[in-house]
Chains A and B, each alone.
Chain A
Amino acid sequence: MVTIFANGKARQVRPSQTVAEMVREMKLEPSSVLVERNGEALLRQEWDQRRVEHGDRLEFVRVVAGG
């Protein structure tokens, strides 16, 4: 297992886990989440290729729509 930081909290994940898999495991609705990895917002089509690495800082931001 490797340690990553999801929204600032340490979390153990399988090595070579993709961002898409993380979003699923965290039970987030993929269409309404933005993911930032180490300061860079990922495009939706990149989620399947990007594998998390030890020490990665990931931010998951949920869309809000109220006005």
Chain B
Amino acid sequence: MSLISRITNSTAAQELSSPEMRRYARHLIMPEVTVEGQRKLKASRVLAIGTGGLGSPLLAYLAAAGVGRLGIVDFDRVDESNLQRQIIHRQTSVGQAKVESARRTIAELNPHVDVATHEIALRSDNALDLFRDYDVVVDGTDNFPTRYLVNDACALLGKPNVYGSIFRFEGQCTVFWAEKGPCYRCLYPEPPPPGSVPSCAEGGVLGILPGVIGVLQAIETVKLILGIGDPLIGRLLLFDALKMRFKEMKLRKNPECPMCGPKKTITGLIDYEQFCGAPAREGPVQDTPKVPEITCSDLKKKIDAKKSFVLIDVREPHEYQISKISGSTLIPLGEIPQRWQEIPNDKEIVIHCKAGIRSAKALLFLQQQGFKNLLNLKGGIDTWSEEIDPSLPRY
């Protein structure tokens, strides 16, 4: 029996056509699946939050496996820098809506799947209505506000949330289902301070890594639908690609959880951007420390006018290799406490990094060392390459 009663109840109405029988032959001959299980898959409705690194492989495999209806939520467009890992999108889709790009690939993989695209930003005022129509929600989003929102909406509706997250060479996967085990808030009652956990846009990710975690999410989703095996409820699976090792952490439901504990205090969705103090978008965190700034166009004028100043780049050497503003001196942020005396304190200093956050930290440190004439390049080299020098590659 499926772990989801709606699927069990509507399986009888699903018939498999001859082409479907041929297509799913390797499923049908397994006693854990059979025609009955394949009909459960056809009766099921799965909602993927995000069509990024995790969403790509999980949508492709769930489509191929014969999930009857796939919902896709994403408001983003395909960017060239997505293609290193987001394999549901193609070179020809760059610039197009991700949901449409994903729909096309799924249609080519399996025409028997019904795809519902939701080109919206998931928010507190639309999540519950959207989730209601689905049996399983798969969280492949890239930010904390949306993760808390998905968790809370699933807990309120009693739906399973197949969770995956990735960074660099590490991945984590579990199934949150408040009725049967812990929820995300049992593990993380408070969101981390904004900017304290780097995103893949800031720290990078091995392109293949989300393939591993997204496929694990797809497997867990299919197991819930079929009602087979041991679901990953109450267990956090940790994957380390460098060590090539899986580890499992046993999780407990937190009796003090405000979302799913006996004394729960949360009865509806809240403002998650406010809760997390951060916008629900990957990319530069908005709350750069307040420091004196210079815009890219003003810096350009200063360079063109041959004004005397020192330009310090506090990024890492591997970033400097990708692109640099001519005339800059590289001192990575982590080396500033040892090397700040190399910086002349009688000249105007302009500091930059990729987006302006690390350079603001460097600026605050130099202020403490007595530097007076300091300016932070607003938007960093990213804005510089966008507005001033398009020949510099963005990353």
What is the 8 Å Cβ interface bit string for chain B, positions 173-195, against chain A (1 contact, 0 not)?
Answer: 00000000000001111111100
Please tell me if the beta carbons of A66 and B192 are within 8 angstroms of each other in the complex. no
B250 touches A65 (CB 8 A): no
Complex interface: chain B residues within 8 A of A31 (CB): 188-193, 196
Contacts A31-B191, A34-B187 hold; do A67 and B142 have CB atoms under 8 A apart? yes
Within 8 A of B (CB), among A16-67: 29, 31-32, 34, 36, 39-41, 43-45, 59, 61-67
Q: Given known contacts A32-B192, A32-B196, A34-B236, is B249 in contact with A66 (CB within 8 Å)?
A: no
Contact A66 B165 (CB under 8 A): yes
Q: Contact: A65 with B144, CB < 8 Å?
A: yes
Q: Are A65 and B256 in contact (CB under 8 A)?
A: no
**Interfacial residues, chain A to chain B (CB-CB below 8 A):** 29, 31-32, 34, 36, 39-41, 43-45, 59, 61-67
A66, B238: Cβ atoms closer than 8 Å: no
- Secondary structure call for the A interface: mixed
B143 adjacent to chain A (CB < 8 Å):
yes
Name the A residues within 8 Å of B170 (CB-CB): 64
B-side interface residues toward A, CB under 8 Å?
A: 50, 52-55, 139-144, 147, 164-167, 170-172, 186-193, 196-197, 199-200, 205, 210, 236, 238, 247, 249-252, 254, 256, 282
The answer to whether A67 touches B249 (Cβ under 8 A) is no
Contacts A29-B196, A31-B190 given: A65-B165 contact, CB under 8 Å?
yes
B287 to chain A, nearest CB (A): 16
Contact partners of A63 in chain B: CB under 8 A: 165, 172, 188, 192, 197
User: A65–B249 contact, CB under 8 A?
Assistant: no
Pairwise interchain contact B254-A44, C-beta atoms closer than 8 A: yes
| Known contacts A31-B192, A61-B249: A67-B238 contact under CB 8 Å | no
Q: Shortest distance in angstroms between A60's beta carbon and chain B's nearest beta carbon?
A: 11
The residue from B171, B190, B196, B256 contacting A64, defined by CB atoms under 8 A apart:
B171
Beyond A31-B191, A67-B140: 5 further Cβ-contacts under 8 Å?
A: A29-B193, A36-B249, A43-B256, A63-B165, A66-B165
Of B55, B187, B252, the residue contacting A67 (CB under 8 A) is B55
Write out the residue numbers on chain B whose beta carbons fall within 8 Å of the beta carbon of A65: 142-144, 147, 165, 167, 197, 199
